[in-house]
Structure 1
Amino acid sequence: MTKDDLLVFFKEPTLEAFSDFLEKNVGEGSQVEFKGKWISDVKLAKIMIGMANSGGGCIVIGVSENDNGTIVASGISAEDKIYDPADFSKIVEKYLPQKIGKYIEIKNFFYENDVYGSLKGKKFQVIFISVEIGDLPIICESDGQRENEKIKRGEIYIRRGSKTDLINYDELQEVLTRSFEARRRVRQDITLEDELDQLKVLYDAIPVSIYKNSFSAFKQNHSPIARELWGHFENKVFPKQSFEEFLKEMIEDKEEKIRKALF
């Protein structure tokens, strides 16, 4: 399976797409993990953090991998759990920072008819992990241990092939560099119109005048009756320069720079 095939499945996770995903799959990797049954919250959280720091991926429950790399899509057994997607986040939320919660989704793939051949009657659940590169690195939020599996607060995990390990220095530097570049690109994408709109919102949020007998602050453009009724005084924290004056000054500065460039 290529990255493009995986991307198609991520974009349209339908029953048909999952069937194709299983048929084309060549085994686990940095973006795919197969589990024949549900694993502990600790192990699950570690894999999820590792995948997030490696660019995302999915954990497939109900599929196991043989030693030779082939997969067995046996489905989730009747004795195992089927998690409600709405409640799934509660299982691992204490280990994950809040910012990653919005990037995690679990979907059901239940096959109930003959259209999909050998998959009929089988149930699978897939955890999708995606992330904004600018939010990296994802750091473990809490200690935990289940049998021989441990997870520690403050640790950062990454995927190396089909394994999840502690990140090393070089890998961390690479993640930080990608994160910084992504945030820088986002800042560069903000247009002048966006910047001015944001500035205007800030100006509007500060009242020019405050009414003496009111618990609330009102802007000067309220009716003369209201100003006369309550009485008002100048708000000392309001910028001395109005929004329009600021724009005029910026225009003059820009004109001066253009003149210098031309002459």
Structure 2
Amino acid sequence: MTILKGQHETFARFFTAPTREALRDLLRHNIGETDYLDFKADWPALPKLARHILALANSGGGALVVGVSQQADGSLIPSGLSSIKDKAQLMPPLSSYLPKPLEYQVLDFTFSAAEYEILIGKSFQVLLVEDNPKLMPFLSLRDGEGVRTTVTYVRDGTTSTEAGHVQLQAVLNRRIESGHSSRPLLDLDGHLAQLRHLDEQREANDSWSESPRVP
């Protein structure tokens, strides 16, 4: 499915100002799942949810819309949620997987009236993940079904997946370009060593290749 400029702008408007009207437009324009947007019919189990959040955080931020499923043909079914999940029950156990600097929030949306008739009477929740390249990569604090502490997760099209060698390099480059380090003396070699270690932990490792350093 080709994503048009207008569809990108529809998501940007929603991410910047997540209102009911902006969510309505996002669903009506149906841009489908992307690196920065995912749909789920219901809330995933906590470890898998943590994996999606980590992947979004390592890929520039984005949103997970819960109450909507995407079909094989790319169409969206906004079936809504049978009940709004209590954030007081969701956030504490979820935080056991996610590093504290990772910023995210959960918003509730209920449509009692809407120009997009299919949404009327339905409720949705949206998890927004902020982009913070200064602190990348974000790693899980604990292992669980579908998530491991030694893996860097990223978005790859419509999936949250284990980063490969090239993707790890992209994460590293964004961190370096941000001009920030939590350890002031950590230089480029230190960054490379950190991600080299992560890369070595991956299954089906495709190895690091040495390249000349640019003065």
Is the Cα contact below 8 Å between 2:99 and 2:138 reproduced in 1?
Answer: yes
Spell out the pairing of 1:181-196 with structure 2 (5 A cutoff): 181-183=177-179
Contact 1:74 1:122 in 2 (8 A): yes
Report the counterpart of residue 170 of structure 2 in structure 1.
174
Which of 93, 97, 100 is equivalent to 1:98? 100
Structure 2 portions without partners, runs of 5+:
181-215
CA deviation digits over 1:56-93, x for unaligned, max 9?
1111110001100010111012xxx5223455321311
What is the SS of the residue equivalent to 1:33?
Answer: strand
CA distance in 2, matches of 1:93, 1:61: 19
Is 1:9 matched up with 2:5?
A: no
The letter for the 1-side match of 2:108 is: N
- Kindly state the Cα deviation for residue 181 of structure 1 after the two structures are TM-superposed: 1.1
Counterpart in 1 of 2:112?
112
Q: SS in structure 1 opposite 2:49?
A: helix
More helix by share: 1
Give the Cα separation in 2 of the matches to 1:16 and 1:8.
10
Which structure has more relative contact order (CA 8 Å, sep 6+)? It is 2
- Deviates further, 114-123 or 26-35: 114-123
Contact 1:36 1:74 in 2 (8 A): yes
Query: 1:22 is matched by which residue type in structure 2?
Result: L
- Taking the TM superposition and a 5 Å limit, the aligned residue runs for 1:14-93 are 14-77=19-82, 81-93=83-95
Moved over 4 A (4+): none
For structure 1, the residue ranges without an aligned partner over 5 or more in a row are: 185-263
TM-score normalised per structure 2: 0.76
Task: Mark the CA change 1:163 to 1:111 in structure 2 (over 3 Å): closer, same or farther.
Answer: same
* Local SS of the residue matching 2:179: helix
Structure 1 residue corresponding to 2:155, chosen from 133, 155, 159? 159
1-side partners of 2:167 and 2:119: how far apart?
A: 39
Q: Give the direction of change, closer, same or farther, for the CA distance of 1:183–1:88 in structure 2 (3 Å limit).
A: farther
- Give the conservation status (yes or no) of the 8 Å contact 2:10–2:22: no
Tell whether the 8 Å contact from 1:95 to 1:141 is kept in structure 2 after alignment.
yes
Partner of 2:204: none
Cα deviation code 1:171-211 (max 9, x no counterpart): 11111111111125xxxxxxxxxxxxxxxxxxxxxxxxxxx
Report 1:158-237 matches (<5 A). 158-183=154-179
Q: Deviations over 1:6-59 (max 9, x none)?
A: 111011111111100001123111111111111100111101101111101111
Q: Partners in 2 of 1:115 and 1:70 — Cα distance?
A: 19
Report if the CA contact (8 A) 2:28-2:116 is conserved. no
Q: Which one has a bigger Cα radius of gyration?
A: 1
Percentage identity across paired residues of the two chains: 33
The SS at the match of 1:19 is helix
Residues 228-247 of structure 1: pairs in structure 2 closer than 5 A? none
Deviation (angstroms), 1:116 = 4.7
> Is the contact made by 1:5 and 1:21 (CA closer than 8 Å) also made in structure 2?
yes
Alpha-carbon contact 1:85-1:105 (below 8 Å) kept = no
Contact 1:96 1:141 in 2 (8 A): yes
